[in-house]
Amino acid sequence: MIRPPRQGDLRRLPRPRTLRARLTFGLVVLLAVSCAAVGLAAVVELNGSLTRRLDEQLAQTGTRFPESLEHHGRPPDDHDGDEYGDTRRTAAGTFGARLLNGTVTSKGLVRGGDPSADLNVDLTTADTHRLARIPADGRARTVRLSELGDYRVAATAGRDGDVLVVGLPLEPVQATVRRLELVAAIVFGLALVVTGVAGALWVRWSLRPLSRVAATAARVSELPLADGEVVLPPRAPQSDPHGEVGRVATAFNRMLGHVEDALTKRHASEERLRRFAADASHELRTPVASVRGHAELALLHPGPVPPEITRALHRIAAESARMGEMVDDLLLLARLDAGRPLERGPVDLTRLVLDAVTDARAAGPDHSWTLDLPEDPVTVPGDAHRLQQVLANLMANARVHTPVGTKVTVTLEADADSALLSVHDDGPGVPEDVRSAVFERFTRAEHRRHPNASGGGAGLGLSIVAAVTGAHAGSVGLESGPGSTTFTVRLPRQTRA
């Protein structure tokens, strides 16, 4: 049993994916449909024409041959004028039969080159029934005889209450039609192959400007458009502006021009902002240091100082120190944005992690700190001071934004290519609306991860982690959910060109 194709099966059939393949496929399909229609029309017309000629020949034959079967196939004495005719005037392959009351009383077949009829024609019961069902109206019909094949036969009422059947073979007609079908299949098949190849070349040549536009778009898509100065590739080649491909190329080039203008303006604005941040940070360092120094000097005054003034001086010194750290962070980010190179040397990352966790335990004794280090020391190329700052910021982030009693696990792993540092805590997790921007500058959640968490900074710690890691050709990531937050830093173990 043949199962019809289901919808899922049709979806799995191979389909042309590119526009060039679709156009070529459509051209070949249309030509195939046209060739099939022309071939079918030619076969039908030829078959009908030959069948009509056979019917005319059958009408000219008349009933002379089946009437002669009453004489057992022997020609009468008068070959020219006998009303029963002569088999020598009948075409080879002519079949004749005489039926009386639905029974074949005589039958014969004219063999080629034999002037007498062959009466030894085998007819099955089914053949007899088919002949008996033919109306005696003289119209030609197609009947299949078991031993002889397809015949075009006509039945006529005889003078003795019998029915005379005469037929001519359809095999010559069928052979001619089969030859036409074979020739048409070969010719149309070659035409489809030649058209497919020529059509593919023509479509490829016609879509060449569109391919150039696509290649230009692919090069643009590979450019780092998010930040920095971007140099767009040359514009797509111009073609006929009155055609569809030409209009696409023109519109695409115009769009690239707008994008280039926007990127240039954005880069100029970012450069002005970087210079302002660097200059402001640099200029603020001196007054902040002066304020802090004067506050500390006032605290060293030997004379009596009211308690309110002492608290105010302590607050001034503390806020000056915090402001100095913020200025240093902003200055560091400005330098990294400007692409200033960091120091490069072998850094014992294992020692840095160990020191950072020791400092974190001292700063956050109410947290549970766990350290997992490999047996062999892990060394990476980079700036030891800046990498230590990355570790300190990650530890501070885990300590500041989680409640008391949170377990923090620091893990260091390494392979031949890179070192992987992960800081995991079982705190409440980073809010979902903050995760996508957690490494951006001044990003702070409206509510901390826990209401009992200690105070936070200015939102620069994780941005420094991302900037320093990027300057070391590394990557930083975050996975967070309720009860599980993991920051990962991956650093290459070999210097990248």
> How is 103-144 classified by DSSP, letter by letter?
EEEEEEEPPTT-SS-B------HHHHHHHHTS-SBS--EEEE
Q: 53 and 190: one domain?
A: yes
CA 359/CA 464 separation, integer angstroms: 19
Evaluate whether residue 378 is within a structural domain: yes
> Percent of the chain scored above 90 by pLDDT?
20
Beta strands in 363-446 (DSSP E): 368-372, 379-382, 407-414, 418-425
Q: 184 and 70: one domain?
A: no
What is the pTM assigned to this prediction?
A: 0.47
Residue ending a domain, among 313, 340, 367, is: 340
Mean of the pLDDT values across residues 310-317?
77
For residue 40, count other CB atoms closer than 10 A to its CB: 12
The tokens of 287 are what?
């007054």
Q: 297 and 349: one domain?
A: no
Q: 48 and 190: one domain?
A: yes
The tokens of 156 are what?
């006529």
Q: 369 and 461: one domain?
A: yes
Question: HSE of 237 in the Cβ direction (CA atoms, 13 Å)?
Answer: 8
Residue 117 has pLDDT above 80, yes or no: no
Residue ending a domain, among 340, 374, 393, is: 340
Q: What are the tens digits of pLDDT across the range 393-440?
A: 899 888 888 898 899 999 999 888 899 999 999 988 888 878 888 887
Largest Cα–Cα separation, the chain: 168
Q: What are the tens digits of pLDDT across the range 454-492?
A: 444 556 778 888 888 888 889 999 998 888 899 999 999
Q: 251 and 306: one domain?
A: yes
What is the domain-level CATH number for residue 318? 1.10.287
Helix, strand or coil, per DSSP, at residue 436: coil
Q: What are the tens digits of pLDDT across the range 35-60?
A: 899 999 999 999 999 999 998 888 88
Helix, strand or coil, per DSSP, at residue 226: coil
Question: HSE of 176 in the Cβ direction (CA atoms, 13 Å)?
Answer: 15
Mean of the pLDDT values across residues 136-157?
90
**Which range of residues forms the domain containing residue 288?**
223-340
Q: What is the phi/psi pair of residue 155, to 5°? A: -115, 140
The CA-based angle 114-119-125, given to 5 degrees, is 140
CA 251/CA 258 separation, integer angstroms: 11
Evaluate whether residue 127 is within a structural domain: yes
State how far Cα 144 lies from the chain centre. Answer: 55
Q: How many structural domains comprise the chain?
A: 4
Question: What pLDDT is stored for residue 53 in this prediction?
Answer: 92
Question: What pLDDT is stored for residue 446 in this prediction?
Answer: 47
Q: Is the separation of the CB atoms in 9 and 196 below 8 Å?
A: no
Q: 299 and 230: one domain?
A: yes
Q: 290 and 379: one domain?
A: no
| Sign of torsion over alpha carbons 292, 296, 301, 307 | positive
Q: 406 and 467: one domain?
A: yes
Q: What are the helix (H) ranges across 207-306? A: 208-221, 244-299
Q: Report the run of H or E that residue 97 belongs to, with start and end.
A: strand 95-100
CA 241/CA 304 separation, integer angstroms: 88
Evaluate whether residue 404 is within a structural domain: yes
Query: Taking the chain, what is the end-to-end CA distance rounded to the nearest angstrom?
Result: 66
Q: 42 and 20: one domain?
A: yes
Evaluate whether residue 5 is within a structural domain: no
* pLDDT-derived band at 300, boundaries 50, 70, 90: confident
Helix, strand or coil, per DSSP, at residue 39: helix
Q: What are the tens digits of pLDDT across the range 92-104?
A: 888 988 898 888 8
* pLDDT-derived band at 354, boundaries 50, 70, 90: very high
Question: What pLDDT is stored for residue 10 in this prediction?
Answer: 46
Question: What pLDDT is stored for residue 175 in this prediction?
Answer: 92
The tokens of 460 are what?
């620069």
Evaluate whether residue 216 is within a structural domain: no
CA 452/CA 432 separation, integer angstroms: 19
What is the domain-level CATH number for residue 416? 3.30.565.10
Evaluate whether residue 449 is within a structural domain: yes
> Percent of the chain scored above 70 by pLDDT?
74
Q: 284 and 383: one domain?
A: no
Provide the 8-state DSSP code for 302: S
Residue ending a domain, among 310, 340, 370, is: 340
Q: 165 and 186: one domain?
A: no
Question: What pLDDT is stored for residue 231 in this prediction?
Answer: 67
